[in-house]
């Protein structure tokens, strides 16, 4: 028996998809403005999240859609693909976060060194 597509679940699913698309656009804008490579990781991870969310919404609306489209064996393979791609998206996001944190730490240390040097020599500006 298929669950009824309740309004709350559909609204939350669509909001999540829209926010994920916004995040992908935001990271694309950051990439365009800065050229920093870690933005690619966040764009890819966010787009994978959008794909997973759209598939989840489709399955919520019609639980048997996968079997009708792919057949039983194809549906089983696509199911395992969805299960496996989730930690891959998380790994890509963690790699991007690690690069971002390393870049932020390096940049903040440079700023602090410049400030400490300027104060030592009496430059208040």
In terms of Cβ atoms closer than 10 Å to its own Cβ (0-12, 13-18, 19+), residue 27 is buried
pLDDT at 95 over 90: yes
Number of domains in the chain: 1
Which range marks the domain in which residue 61 is found? 7-118
Least confident piece of the model among 14-23, 39-48, 74-83, 112-121:
112-121
| d(C-alpha 33, C-alpha 14), whole Å | 28
2 located within any domain: no
125 located within any domain: no
**107 conformational bin, left if phi > 0, alpha if psi -120 to 50, beta if neither:** alpha
124 located within any domain: no
123 located within any domain: no
| d(C-alpha 57, C-alpha 67), whole Å | 16
10 falls in which pLDDT band (50, 70, 90)?
A: confident
44 falls in which pLDDT band (50, 70, 90)?
A: very high
68 located within any domain: yes
104 located within any domain: yes
pLDDT tens-place string over residues 100-125? 998 888 887 776 666 555 556 665 55
| d(C-alpha 10, C-alpha 2), whole Å | 15
């Amino acid at each position: 028996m298929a669950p009824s597509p309740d309004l709350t679940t559909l609204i939350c699913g669509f909001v999540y998809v829209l926010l994920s698309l916004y995040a992908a656009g935001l990271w694309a804008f950051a990439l365009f403005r800065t050229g920093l490579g870690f933005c690619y990781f966040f764009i890819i991870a966010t787009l994978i999240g959008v794909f997973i969310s759209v598939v989840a919404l489709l399955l919520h609306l019609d639980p048997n859609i996968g079997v009708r489209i792919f057949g039983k064996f194809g549906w089983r393979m696509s199911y395992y693909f969805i299960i496996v791609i989730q930690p891959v998206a998380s790994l890509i996001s963690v790699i991007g976060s690690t690069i971002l944190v390393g870049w932020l730490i390096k940049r903040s240390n440079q700023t602090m060194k410049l400030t400490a040097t300027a104060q030592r020599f009496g430059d208040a500006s």
